[in-house]
């Protein structure tokens, strides 16, 4: 059984504002993909109940990798999907997919990557084990690499 927040996705409209500042090309600026990933994680943090600066613990992004597979051109839309794939004592690994869902009939995988979070105690700035109640929301114990990549349904 999949934990309710093991997977999270966000549809994001892509506009001319996502082009490079110098308008060197007609495709989305590479840095914008990281903004799309960040926006998607923000929604996941809120749903998980871990976006409160007054709390003594927090999830911090420790590393991010992303492979660009194809260009995305505005106007259009992308769907950014994140999935918890692996949990350690204090770390959590997510897979990331960004799908171009705007310009064509079928969604196209634009890129994929990995993000690692670490659960920390804010005051000490030290890693701590993930709380069991949080893990129950986002982790079903499925081993890394067993998830099947499925394109999103294109609801233009």
DSSP 8-state class, residue 152: P
Query: Could you tell me which of 37, 15, 19, 36 has the C-alpha nearest to residue 28?
Result: 19
Question: Rounded to a whole number, what is the largest CA-CA distance in the chain?
Answer: 50
Please tell me whether the peptide bond between 110 and the residue prior to it is cis, using omega within 30 degrees of 0: no
Distance CA 117, CA 13 (A): 26
Distance CA 17, CA 36 (A): 13
Determine, yes or no, domain membership for 148. no
pLDDT in tens, 96-147: 999 999 867 889 999 999 999 999 999 999 999 999 999 999 998 876 555 5
Determine, yes or no, domain membership for 21. yes
pLDDT in tens, 52-107: 889 999 999 999 999 999 999 999 999 999 999 999 999 999 999 999 998 678 89
| Partners of 48 in beta bridges | none
The domain total for the chain is 1
- Give the end-to-end CA distance of the chain in Å, rounded to a whole number: 30
Determine, yes or no, domain membership for 86. yes
Determine, yes or no, domain membership for 64. yes
CATH of the domain at 72: 3.10.129.10
Determine, yes or no, domain membership for 150. no
Q: Which domain holds residue 42?
A: 7-138
Q: Is a pLDDT exceeding 60 seen at residue 148?
A: no
Determine, yes or no, domain membership for 70. yes
Question: How sure is the predictor about 155, in pLDDT bands with cuts at 50, 70 and 90?
Answer: low
Residue whose token pair is 């690994």: 93
Residue whose token pair is 């990281």: 34
Determine, yes or no, domain membership for 113. yes
């Amino acid at each position: 059984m999949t934990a309710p927040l093991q997977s999270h996705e966000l549809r994001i409209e892509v506009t001319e504002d996502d082009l490079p500042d110098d308008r060197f090309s007609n495709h989305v600026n590479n840095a914008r993909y990281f903004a799309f990933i960040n926006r998607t994680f923000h929604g996941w943090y809120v749903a998980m109940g871990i976006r409160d600066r007054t709390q003594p613990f927090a999830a911090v992004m420790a590393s991010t990798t992303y492979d660009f597979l194809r260009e995305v051109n505005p106007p259009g839309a992308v769907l950014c999907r994140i999935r918890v794939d692996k949990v350690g004592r204090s770390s959590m690994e997510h897979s990331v997919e960004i799908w171009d869902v705007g310009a064509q009939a079928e969604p196209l995988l634009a890129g994929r990557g990995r993000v690692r979070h670490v659960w920390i105690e804010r005051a000490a700035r030290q890693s701590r084990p993930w709380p069991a109640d949080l893990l129950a929301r986002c982790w079903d114990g499925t081993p890394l690499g067993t998830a099947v990549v499925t394109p999103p349904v294109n609801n233009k």
